[in-house]
Amino acid sequence: GENVEQHPSTLSVQEGDSAVIKCTYSDSASNYFPWYKQELGKGPQLIIDIRSNVGEKKDQRIAVTLNKTAKHFSLHITETQPEDSAVYFCAASSGKLIFGQGTELSVKP
Amino acid sequence: DVKVTQSSRYLVKRTGEKVFLECVQDMDHENMFWYRQDPGLGLRLIYFSYDVKMKEKGDIPEGYSVSREKKERFSLILESASTNQTSMYLCATKDGTGDYEQYFGPGTRLTVT
């Protein structure tokens, strides 16, 4: 069945450094790729999404890139801050949303 | 601002008990979802509903059922709770058809002893 693999499972960076989370998907029909951030004690919240007709999208300090040929997409966070500490989930959809396993990001001051 | 509320933040039940998890949304969204979240497994879809009284199985429906009698309310039912159903349960809603943002509730952490 459809599958989304997410790496790394944990990531620790110093404040101000960049963080990159990578995902690969198996369903070549996938055309929607959202990223969710889950803070402690809360439900996941959408932070950025990209559709298959776009290769890159930016929103302030976060950006997502998509390589449809290789079936992988990545989240880039620049100038990380302690409030970026959270669990991040990638997902891919061809009508049904499949989530990755999650990455616990820790930003140390 | 979309608000999705879940009836309990923490719940402890005994093996064999019938368990009801309630989800209520205030934005008139057609679609509602139940996921379970386990470490290393991400979010897995249990059931979803695209209209009142309509339901579809997700990837892991075994041991669960759902009810949607009103548009704003979606209930997850564990007919006979088992220890392997100890997990975080998340409800989500989505407006319309197609791929759009899902709005999540805060989750219910269920422990079955």
CB B39 within 8 A of CB B25: no
Chain A CB within 8 Å of residue B102 CB? yes
From the list B41, B90, B101, which residue is nearest A43 (CB)?
B90
pLDDT score recorded for residue A95: 86
Q: In degrees, to the nearest 5, what angle opens at C-alpha A45 toward C-alphas A42 and A49?
A: 160
Q: Strand (E) positions, B7-98? A: 10-13, 19-25, 31-38, 42-49, 56-57, 65-70, 73-78, 87-94
**Position A57: which residue type?**
K
Residue that has been written with the tokens 């929607």 in this structure: A32
| C-alpha torsion A57→A15→A7→B105, nearest 10 | -70
Tell me whether residues B99 and A44 touch, CB distance under 8 A. Answer: no
Cβ atoms of A75 and A90 closer than 8 Å: yes
Q: How far is B38 from chain A (nearest CA, A)?
A: 9
Chain A segment 3-62 residues within 8 A of B by beta carbon are 4, 6, 9, 31-32, 34, 36, 41-46, 49, 51
> Distance between CA atoms of B105 and B21, rounded to whole angstroms?
12
Residue written as tokens 């101000």? A16
- The string of pLDDT tens digits covering residues B38-66 is 999 999 999 999 999 899 999 999 999 99
Q: What is the pLDDT of residue A70?
A: 95
pLDDT tens per residue, range B59-95: 999 999 999 999 999 999 999 999 999 999 999 999 9
pLDDT for B99: 81
Q: What is the pLDDT of residues A63-103, one digit of tens each?
A: 999 999 999 999 999 999 999 999 999 999 998 899 999 99
Do A43 and B4 count as a contact with CB atoms less than 8 A apart?
Answer: yes
Confidence of residue A35 (pLDDT cuts 50, 70, 90): very high
Please list every residue in chain A whose beta carbon sits closer than 8 Å to the beta carbon of residue B90: 43-44
Residues of A in contact with B99 (CB under 8 A): 31-32, 34, 51, 93, 95, 97
- Contact of A25 with A42, CB cutoff 8 Å: no
What does the block give as tokens for A59?
């929103």
How many whole angstroms from its chain centre is CA B49?
A: 10
